Amino acid sequence: MEQTLPPGIEQILIDAPELAAAIRRMAAAIARDYAGRSLVLVGVLKGAVFVTADLARALSEVPDGPTDIQLDFIAVSSYGNAHRSSGEVRLVQDTTHAVEGRHILIVEDIVDNGHTLHYLRAMLGNRQPASLRAAVLLDKPYRRAIDVPVEYVGLTCPDEFVVGYGLDYQERYRTLPYLAKLRPEVLPA
């Protein structure tokens, strides 16, 4: 059946079942690696709020995974325009719990040029965590400006300006349950 798309949306690129399947695959790999350990998921606000929640629930459904899963959040902002961040990242809101001695998994919706994740890995890595890794639902490896490790990747993201499932354009479209392409006329020339 033909689905009516919201104004501004040209096309669904990755539908909700495909996103859910990617999260289940990530959860299976993470659960295996952290079996018997206490794990802290650090979601990066605001884009990663949906993937963090869904990944946490998927992880708790895997048998023989982490002994417990705790949630924390961090917020950063990067200077730049809607299309490209400048590489200058600023901490807006820190985690609420200590990182030292904990197994920390940074959860991101997307890695694009890599500056945000690079900043977060350096900052959290300085706090003596027991371990530090990153899980990213959508990767744009072809856009990397800085090399940064990503241990768990859900999907390679199409080379488009994408919105939905946490990703916004000027704070809109985050709540769409799928990943979509914006109509070009919505974006500045």
Q: Which residues are catalytic?
A: 112
CB of 25 to ligand PRP, least distance (A): 20
- Taking each helix axis from N to C end, the angle separating 49-61 and 16-33, rounded to the nearest 10 degrees, works out to 60
Question: Taking CB under 6 A as the rule, does residue 52 contact ligand PRP?
Answer: no
Judge contact between 127 and 49, C-beta under 8 A. Answer: no
Question: Taking CB under 6 A as the rule, does residue 9 contact ligand PRP?
Answer: no
* Tokens describing residue 4: 């009516």
Q: Which of residues 97-116 bind ligand PRP (CB under 6 A)?
A: 108-116
CB of 46 to ligand PRP, least distance (A): 4
CA distance 44 to 162: 18
- Name the burial class of residue 157, with classes exposed (0-12), middle (13-18) and buried (19+) by CB atoms within 10 angstroms of its CB: buried
DSSP label at residue 142: G
Question: Taking CB under 6 A as the rule, does residue 139 contact ligand PRP?
Answer: no
Length of the chain: 189
CB of 35 to ligand PRP, least distance (A): 28
* Contact residue for ligand PRP among 24, 25, 37, 46 (CB under 6 A): 46
Nearer to ligand PRP, 31 or 56 (CB): 56
CA distance 81 to 85: 6
* Tokens describing residue 1: 């059946």
Segment interacting with ligand PRP, rule: CB under 6 A, options 31-39, 45-53, 155-163, 181-189? 45-53
CB of 168 to ligand PRP, least distance (A): 5
Binding stretches for ligand PRP (CB under 6 A): 44-48, 78, 85, 108-117, 168
